[in-house]
């Protein structure tokens, strides 16, 4: 016999609070996309949503707390895109290649957000083990482990392989997100498109994993 599940409906006050919180984050993301991290201040956010700076602090006690939330939301969007790509099916070598491409494409769609998402990863502030960033790495590790079990990928430590693959894809994504005219802006590379570099890079990674 199943137990009854009670779903609590948000009160009007809770709905208003969520609405204001979402408006703050939306305004912050808009400013960040246009001007980067330096373009965000509590004063400018307050002006954007027609609130006082003091009211903003009721939702986020510091700019760092707001950035932390924005990072998690970006990683959540990234995970969603990767999950959709994986749901299309195929063997692990196909899945890894497709997900790698989606990873880079998502970084290029929101380059400022992508660079900010990793700007906190230092000795002073590390992500929580339940964060979407760690979930992304676990998803990759499970995918590689599945390929090893099916003998599509060679025998290796999936934890080592997932770190290496992530570092490789992250390197390309960071390079492309940081340099607007890469690679065509480099002398002699006018014919080289971003798509061909992404394809070559993901193919190179999969060849390194294959049995």
User: Which CATH number goes with the domain that contains 32?
Assistant: 1.10.10.60
Most confident of 51-65, 71-85, 122-136, 143-157: 143-157
| 141: CB partners within 8 A, 6+ apart | 158, 159, 161, 162
Do 100 and 196 belong together in one domain?
A: yes
The verdict on 80 and 164 lying in the same domain is yes
Over residues 87-110, the mean pLDDT reads 94
Tokens coding 21: 């919180």
> Is-above-0.75 flag for pTM?
yes
Question: Residue 82: is it exposed, middle or buried by C-beta count within 10 angstroms (0-12/13-18/19+)?
Answer: buried
Same domain, residue pair 98 and 55: no
pLDDT tops 70 at residue 12: yes
Domain count for the chain, please give it: 2
Under DSSP, is residue 96 helix (H, G, I), strand (E, B) or coil?
helix
Q: How high does pLDDT run on average in the chain? A: 87
Domain interval for residue 36: 8-61
pLDDT digits (tens, 9 = 90+) for 58-96: 899 888 888 888 888 888 888 999 999 999 999 999 999
Sole residue written with tokens 């809770």: 14
Which residue is associated with the tokens 């959540």?
76
**Cis peptide, bond prior to residue 183, ω within 30 of zero:** yes
Q: Are residues 23 and 56 in the same domain?
A: yes
């Amino acid at each position: 016999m199943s137990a009854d599940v009670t779903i609590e409906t948000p009160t009007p006050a809770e709905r208003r609070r969520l609405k204001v919180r979402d408006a703050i984050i939306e305004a912050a993301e808009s400013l960040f996309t246009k001007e980067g991290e330096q373009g965000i201040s509590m004063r400018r956010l307050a002006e954007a949503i027609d609130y006082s700076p003091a009211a903003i602090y009721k939702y986020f006690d510091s700019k760092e707390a707001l950035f932390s939330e924005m990072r998690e939301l970006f990683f959540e969007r990234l995970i969603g895109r990767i999950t959709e790509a994986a749901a299309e099916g195929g063997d692990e070598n196909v899945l890894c290649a497709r997900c790698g491409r989606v990873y880079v494409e998502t970084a290029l769609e929101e380059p400022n957000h992508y660079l900010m998402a990793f700007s906190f990863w230092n000795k002073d502030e590390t992500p929580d083990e339940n964060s979407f960033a760690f979930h992304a790495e676990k998803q990759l590790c499970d995918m590689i482990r599945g390929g090893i079990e099916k003998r599509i990928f060679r025998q290796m430590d999936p934890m080592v392989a997932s770190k290496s693959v992530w570092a490789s894809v992250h390197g390309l994504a960071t390079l492309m997100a940081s340099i607007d005219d890469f690679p065509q802006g480099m002398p002699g590379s006018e014919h080289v498109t971003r798509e061909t570099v992404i394809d070559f890079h993901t193919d190179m990674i999969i060849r390194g994993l294959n049995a």
